[in-house]
Amino acid sequence: MIWNPEIETMPCLALEKLQSERLQKLADYVYARVPMYRQRMDAAGLKPSDIGGIHDLHKLPFTKKIDLRDNYPFGLFAVPMDQVTRVHASSGTTGKPTVVGYTQNDIEMWAEVCARCFAMSGAKPGEMFQNAYGYGLFTGGLGMHYGAERFGCTVIPISGGNTARQIMLLQDFQTAVMACTPSYALTLADEILRAGIDPKSLKVRTFILGAEPWTEEMRTELEAKLGTHAVNIYGLSEIIGPGVSNECVEAKAGMHIAEDHFLTEILNPATGEPVADGEVGEIVFTTLTKEAMPLLRYRTGDLCSLNREKCICGRTHARMSRILGRTDDMLIIRGVNVFPSQVEAALVGQTHFAPHYALVVTREGHLDAIEVQIEVQDGFYRELGEGRFADANDDAVRHLCARARKALHEVLGINAEVTLLAPGKAPRSEGGKLKRVFDRRK
Ligand code: ADP
Ligand code: ZN
């Protein structure tokens, strides 16, 4: 089933025409309403009328995550606050979150693109949908919620976590469609099998999985364990949230991008120049229709490739590959974005901590765990006396770890394990790039 056949199977030329018209309007719109864009266009000697269509896209300035931080919280909004229906936020690179806003029309557009995702995933109106993405500032929960309602599913807004309850509702409510992170889906599958539940007794057929990178092997494992099928969904709050793109169940080979709303480029991250279709580069989006917080050429930091070949499902919108990596040091831990700089922001200035640390990410079962190893200052070490430092039961050590855990939780929104390192034991730069992140999940 195709949710919006007129748009989703639009001939490429007609789609490009639509994009060009929208891009011209967007150039006018942001020039008139967003000071940052007006300044950047002025600085580049660029007038809105210089944008004649998508062939002029390359003239427009880039937007980066730091621009959202510099304009925190609402400085990039293009409408007065009384027209902003909702805000969401995701992790920024420091203690402050990245804030995004939506008008009522933006919320409608978001529901529309998410409804398309449900159809692409093979869901059917009338089915029970268990939404195990987190509700709250994170866009995952509410984005999928509105999309499912628009599509016509019955929504179970259970949110993330509490595996026993998830399984109970899968059984009792006869859930047919479920959305969560891929790693959580695998945890759930293992728990179902461990509890001796026959997967055939469940109705769940469709898993819509995203918010973190995953692999074909994970898909094969999940599909085999539960006898379901799983598709990939991609999105980021800056652009809208989930629903930027989604795999069609017919091909399961790349995610169709809602190109009528999100104009897409794949660029060489170092030069900013476009790469050829099929080649890996950074995916960059321009929001063509967003009102509250339109973005020009937003550098996602996500690496993938683009495929514009015809798809067997009949959709004409281009497909992006799985996310193959990041241009920056962002980690995704249990679906939550974590930047090493946030860890630093949480810990600097706290007494007894030296400004040296290491992050170790591991996977226990299917769930990610993060350990922050923090070096203590000489003073603390001496206060405790030689030999007593390593004793995790020591009151002073326990107290210091608890304080760090609390500070990290406030900034990262997830629990981190904290261990203390003796002075001089954290990684130091040896001329080259300092390696303080050890991702042992792969
Ligand atoms: P979300 O609600 O999608 O997690 P965030 O803005 O918090 O939104 O995080 C967006 C980032 O999450 C993306 O830039 C990308 O790195 C990652 N992400 C989202 N979906 C996927 C996916 N299907 N595969 C890989 N990474 C993804
Ligand atoms: Zn397709």
101-133 pLDDT per residue, tens = 999 999 999 999 999 999 999 999 999 999 999
**Could you say which ligand is closest to the alpha carbon of residue 99?**
1
What is the torsion angle, in degrees rounded to the nearest 10, for the CA atoms of residue 28, residue 33, residue 39 and residue 43? 0
In this structure, the answer to whether residues 338 and 309 fall within a common structural domain is: no
In this structure, the answer to whether residues 122 and 233 fall within a common structural domain is: yes
156-197 pLDDT per residue, tens = 999 999 999 999 999 999 999 999 999 899 999 999 999 999
End-of-domain residue from the set 327, 351, 366: 327
Edge-first strand listing for the sheet containing 281-287: 262-267, 281-287, 298-304, 325-326
User: Helices marked H in 176-291 — which ranges?
Assistant: 182-194, 216-226
How far CA 334 is from CA of 162, 167, 401, in Å, comes to 14, 19, 22
CA of 387 to the centre of ligand 1 (A): 45
Does residue 388 carry a pLDDT above 60? no
What confidence category does residue 306 fall into, taking pLDDT thresholds of 50, 70 and 90?
very high
In this structure, the answer to whether residues 188 and 215 fall within a common structural domain is: yes
The predicted model gives 321-327 an average pLDDT of 92
What's the rounded Cα separation, in Å, for the pair 178 and 109? 22
CATH code of residue 407: 3.30.300.30
Query: Atom 8 in ligand 1: which residue has the minimum CA distance?
Result: 236
52-82 pLDDT per residue, tens = 999 999 999 999 999 999 999 999 999 999 9
CA of 237 to the centre of ligand 1 (A): 8
End-of-domain residue from the set 294, 327, 360: 327
In this structure, the answer to whether residues 344 and 258 fall within a common structural domain is: no
Kindly give the number of the ligand 1 atom that is closest to the alpha carbon of 233.
23
CA of 212 to the centre of ligand 1 (A): 5
In this structure, the answer to whether residues 140 and 159 fall within a common structural domain is: yes
**Residue-level pLDDT at 81:** 98
- What is the tally of structural domains in the chain? 2
DSSP 120-159: HHT--TT-EEEE-SPPSSSHHHHHHHHHHHHHTPEEE---
Does residue 309 carry a pLDDT above 80? yes
User: What are the phi and psi torsion angles at 31 (to 5°)?
Assistant: -65, -40
- The radius of gyration of the chain from alpha carbons, rounded to an integer in Å, stands at 23
**Structural domain boundaries, residue 260:** 1-327
355-378 pLDDT per residue, tens = 788 999 999 888 899 999 998 888
Does residue 263 carry a pLDDT above 80? yes
In this structure, the answer to whether residues 311 and 415 fall within a common structural domain is: no
Query: Atom 11 in ligand 1: which residue has the minimum CA distance?
Result: 236
CATH code of residue 220: 3.40.50.12780
End-of-domain residue from the set 310, 327, 344: 327
In this structure, the answer to whether residues 273 and 148 fall within a common structural domain is: yes
CA of 256 to the centre of ligand 1 (A): 15
CA of 249 to the centre of ligand 2 (A): 7
Question: Tokens representing 77?
Answer: 């909004």
CB contact at 8 A, 187 and 366: yes
CA of 314 to the centre of ligand 2 (A): 6
SS3 175: coil
Burial class (CB in 10 A: 0-12, 13-18, 19+), 82: exposed
Q: CB under 6 Å to ligand 1: residues?
A: 90, 138-140, 210-213, 232-237, 241-242, 300, 302, 323, 332, 335, 337
In this structure, the answer to whether residues 193 and 341 fall within a common structural domain is: no
Tell me what the pLDDT averaged over the chain comes to: 93
Q: Which residue from 121, 159, 234, 239 has its CB within 8 A of the most atoms of ligand 1, so it is best to mutate?
A: 234
How far CA 428 is from CA of 203, 354, 433, in Å, comes to 53, 12, 10
Question: Tokens representing 407?
Answer: 């500070």
